[in-house]
Structure 1
Amino acid sequence: MRALARHYPDGHRLPPHRHPRGQLIHAASGVMELATRDRIWLIPPGQALWVPPGIEHRLRARGAVELRSVYFHPDALPAAAPDEPASVRVSALLGALLDRAAAIAEDPPPDERDRRILDLIGWELDWSAATPWSLPTGHDPRLARLCAAILADPADRRGLAAWGEQVGASARTLARLFRAETGMSFDLWRRQARLLLALPRLAAGEAVTSVALDLGYGNPGAFAAMVRRATGQPPRRG
């Protein structure tokens, strides 16, 4: 195992890449966006994302990000580690372990105390605490471009016909692609995308009205109702 800490400014991007080791990614502050070929995840504070060995992914910082990463050798993956990326809750202990592990130097090799700290990280991972901080984006390049554009500007209210002119497909084709590749209609996917982008901001204490307006909701009450339907809880008032 090895661990590292990185700081990324707002908007920083890492191009598509893959690792021979399994990777646990945790944003100690800020929100990191990770995308694979057909799905996108957000990694806010309090969450971590497991990326199995060999999975191609790209990263983008949403705000300034303090990142913690731990790499596991393929022969020493955490017990019951999923074969697909999975988001897990970061307990207070796991967060402290990740911070401590990032301070362990590779040279000289870790001593016995450091090795025990690294080993504890694998034991503290609770795969049953996975959380749905992800959204499918599909394989078709036209659909992928549309999804990326909405995630970049969720306040854009254009319908499928207008989007079709931009990505080179008819509204009917895009509607079919959404159903076939994401399992959702366009309207539902856009609502889910806005929810995905809203939750980490609300969890960080941003005002409901500010988040609602940024996501294209002219009426904060409608936004609050959407959050309540999806999570069972009203957003914090602000």
Structure 2
Amino acid sequence: MVGKVRNVVVVNNVYDRPGMIVSGTVESRAQRYQAGHRIPVHTHEGAQLLYARDGVAMVSSAQGRWMVPPDHALWIPPHVQHSVEMLVDVTMLSFVVAPGARSELPSRVTAVSVTDLARALIEASADPQPADDVPGRMELIIPLLLDVISTLPERKLALPFPSDQRLATLCQRFVAAPSAELPIERWAGELSMSRRTFTRVFRRETGLSLSTWRQQACLFAALPRLASGEPVTTVALDLGYDSIAAFTTMFKRMLGAPPRVYLGNKTGD
């Protein structure tokens, strides 16, 4: 069957089992992974959409890291080297789009929020059906899914890393022990820079202010803990927030909903 289908990217060595080819434009597979499972560095000839039905995964590349929490997806353009790590148990749906299928799709790695329509199309395209029914269904579903992908709202789930090695070392140290209250003066002092110079260099290297980058790093630390059921209070205080309200405000600003709503009441407290 594989040899008879054109314009489909088959990446059987990337995942634990072969994927299901659903059309000449998109290859789809759904897989349940345990916490700690890691898919090593690889690339695709076509673009890829990774959707987390539940759980939290982290995608890493030379350009940075991206979080893929529930009801979000990550668009990865062709030929981008990346690895995937499951931070908790994850049900992951993967779609690889044939090269040249759509020119208007994103040209950079982009985290998006999955709408109800997109979710329904994703689930439908990953749902195995009798072989005779697949071509007809997919001729309707796939073009609409590709149209919808280009309209999904972008979310700030990226954590870009600077290319400057000294600055990257500070960022890696922060990711290992994030704190919402770590002052910019300490970062600048460690690099023997003035606050103004550090601010300019950090934004040039990452595209973000230190404040925004720090919040996103804290969000990266919080999501897998919240998804595994830890209380919001515990996570917020561990990350150095003065109050639960401050943490909730940050969370809602970044992801569009407070923790309990966002994670479907999986969190304690």
Task: Provide Cα deviations, 1:75-127, integer angstroms capped at 9, x if missing partner.
Answer: 213x621110112221223223222322348x889422233233332122243
Letter paired with 1:72 = V
Aligned counterpart, 1:166:
none
Tell me which of 56, 81, 85 is aligned to 2:109.
85
Secondary structure of the residue that 2:56 maps to in structure 1? strand
Aligned counterpart, 1:136:
160
Q: More deviation in 199-208 or 38-47?
A: 199-208
Q: Does 1:61 align with 2:86?
A: yes
Tell me which of 36, 50, 56 is aligned to 1:11.
36
Aligned counterpart, 2:140:
116
Could you tell me how far apart the structure 1 residues matched to 2:251 and 2:238 are?
A: 15
Matches of residues 150-165 of structure 1 in structure 2 within 5 Å?
150-154=174-178
8 Å CA contact 1:88–1:126 kept in 2: the answer is no
Secondary structure of the residue that 1:129 maps to in structure 2? coil
Per-residue deviation, 1:5:
1.0
Could you tell me how far apart the structure 2 residues matched to 1:137 and 1:179 are?
A: 11
Aligned counterpart, 1:36:
61
Q: What are structure 2's unaligned runs of at least 5 residues?
A: 1-25, 262-268
8 Å CA contact 1:88–1:127 kept in 2: the answer is no
Could you tell me how far apart the structure 2 residues matched to 1:228 and 1:25 are?
A: 23
CA gap 1:110/1:10 in 2 versus in 1, 3 angstroms: same
Could you tell me how far apart the structure 2 residues matched to 1:200 and 1:86 are?
A: 20
Secondary structure of the residue that 1:172 maps to in structure 2? coil
Per-residue deviation, 1:3:
0.3
Per-residue deviation, 1:10:
1.2
Aligned counterpart, 1:171:
191
Tell me which of 3, 8, 20 is aligned to 2:45.
20
CA gap 1:178/1:12 in 2 versus in 1, 3 angstroms: farther
Aligned counterpart, 2:205:
181
CA gap 1:53/1:87 in 2 versus in 1, 3 angstroms: same
Tell me which of 218, 224, 247 is aligned to 1:194.
218
CA gap 1:216/1:62 in 2 versus in 1, 3 angstroms: farther
Could you tell me how far apart the structure 2 residues matched to 1:172 and 1:236 are?
A: 42
Could you tell me how far apart the structure 1 residues matched to 2:124 and 2:65 are?
A: 28
Aligned counterpart, 2:10:
none
CA gap 1:90/1:159 in 2 versus in 1, 3 angstroms: closer
Q: More deviation in 22-31 or 83-92?
A: 83-92
CA gap 1:100/1:214 in 2 versus in 1, 3 angstroms: farther
CA gap 1:189/1:7 in 2 versus in 1, 3 angstroms: same
Letter paired with 2:235 = V
TM-score by length of 1: 0.75
CA gap 1:179/1:102 in 2 versus in 1, 3 angstroms: same
CA gap 1:141/1:110 in 2 versus in 1, 3 angstroms: farther
Secondary structure of the residue that 1:101 maps to in structure 2? helix
Could you tell me how far apart the structure 2 residues matched to 1:143 and 1:11 are?
A: 28
Task: Provide Cα deviations, 1:181-236, integer angstroms capped at 9, x if missing partner.
Answer: 12556565333311344468668986320221342446545534655776797765
Q: What are structure 1's unaligned runs of at least 5 residues?
A: 164-169
Aligned counterpart, 1:71:
96
TM-score by length of 2: 0.68
Secondary structure of the residue that 2:31 maps to in structure 1? strand
Letter paired with 2:115 = S
Could you tell me how far apart the structure 2 residues matched to 1:9 and 1:162 are?
A: 38
RMSD of Structure 2 on Structure 1 (CA): 3.9
CA gap 1:236/1:171 in 2 versus in 1, 3 angstroms: same
8 Å CA contact 2:56–2:223 kept in 1: the answer is no
